[in-house]
Chains A and B, each alone.
Chain A
Amino acid sequence: GAVVSQHPSWVICKSGTSVKIECRSLDFQATTMFWYRQFPKQSLMLMATSNEGSKATYEQGVEKDKFLINHASLTLSTLTVTSAHPEDSSFYICSARPLGLGNYNEQFFGPGTRLTVL
């Protein structure tokens, strides 16, 4: 099956620093990738939709200047949490929609990245 990886799997950082999370589709190309955030005991909340070669589309209430998304290739999207604060501590999950693979509605999720900001 299609595999999506995320790196790092977990990260601990000091308040005020920036953290970059990578999302890669390992065995397929993805024109669209999605970034979600999940707080403890809550559901996944879509943050933004990332399209290769264009600017990301952010959901209402998500600060685009704080959560920088870059989708420079068909297999890689990055999310940078700038000037992270403790309230940004969360589980960040990406997903990727395959290009020309199976049902166009299918998405494959990464394993998630646990961010803890001290």
Chain B
Amino acid sequence: DAKTTQPTSMDCAEGRAANLPCNHSTISGNEYVYWYRQIHSQGPQYIIHGLKNNETNEMASLIITEDRKSSTLILPHATLRDTAVYYCIVSSTSGGSYIPTFGRGTSLIVHP
């Protein structure tokens, strides 16, 4: 079972910030939060991950609440090419290995 809940869909105007929330209230202390996105008929693309501190890279920013029960992925200036399904994943382990378990994700539509 996915350990996260996300809104089914969101929309955003091109050029504006897209803020995608994710709840992971059962996250444990050593589990990371990962974000991937999947553009239609392509493989998932890694975006960012974090443990407890906020993170930023060239694609996005990740804000994790202090209690780590939720996080927000921020695309600061959304473009039409950011239209995709965004998956928030909490690392689950199997024999010590990290295996991402995908939930339904959030379908983000960026409109002109």
Q: Do A and B come from one complex?
A: yes
Chain A residues within CB distance 8 Å of chain B: 4, 6, 32, 34, 36, 43-46, 49, 57, 91, 93, 95, 97, 103-112, 114
- Chain B residues with CB under 8 Å of A43's CB are 2, 87, 102-105
Task: State whether A32 touches B41 (Cβ < 8 A).
Answer: no
The verdict on A112 contacting B43 (CB below 8 Å), with A43-B87, A105-B49 known, is yes
* Best-surrounded residue of B32, B43, B100, B102 (most CB of chain A within 10 A): B43
**Per-residue interface assignment for chain B, residues 81 to 96, with 1 indicating a CB less than 8 Å from any chain A CB and 0 otherwise:** 0000001000100100
What total of A-B pairs shows CB separation below 8 Å? 55
Task: State whether B41 touches A105 (Cβ < 8 A).
Answer: no
Task: State whether A107 touches B49 (Cβ < 8 A).
Answer: no
Residue of B nearest to A57 (CB): B94
Task: State whether A111 touches B43 (Cβ < 8 A).
Answer: yes
**In the complex, how many angstroms separate the beta carbon of A30 from the nearest chain B beta carbon?**
12
Task: State whether A91 touches B41 (Cβ < 8 A).
Answer: yes
The verdict on A49 contacting B103 (CB below 8 Å), with A93-B43, A109-B43, A111-B42 known, is no
CA distance A111 to B41 in the complex (A): 8
> What range describes how many residues of B lie at the interface?
20 to 34
Chain B residues within CB distance 8 Å of chain A: 2, 32, 34, 36, 38, 41-46, 49, 87, 91, 94, 97-105
Task: State whether A49 touches B42 (Cβ < 8 A).
Answer: no
- Chain A residues with CB under 8 Å of B44's CB are 44, 93, 95, 109
**In the complex, how many angstroms separate the beta carbon of A4 from the nearest chain B beta carbon?**
8
* Best-surrounded residue of B41, B91, B99 (most CB of chain A within 10 A): B99
- Chain A residues with CB under 8 Å of B36's CB are 109
- Chain B residues with CB under 8 Å of A91's CB are 41
Residue of B nearest to A111 (CB): B43
- Chain B residues with CB under 8 Å of A45's CB are 102
CA distance A45 to B105 in the complex (A): 13
Task: State whether B43 touches A106 (Cβ < 8 A).
Answer: no
| 12 residue pairs A–B, Cβ–Cβ below 8 Å | A32-B97, A43-B2, A43-B104, A44-B102, A93-B43, A95-B100, A105-B32, A105-B91, A106-B49, A109-B36, A109-B44, A110-B43
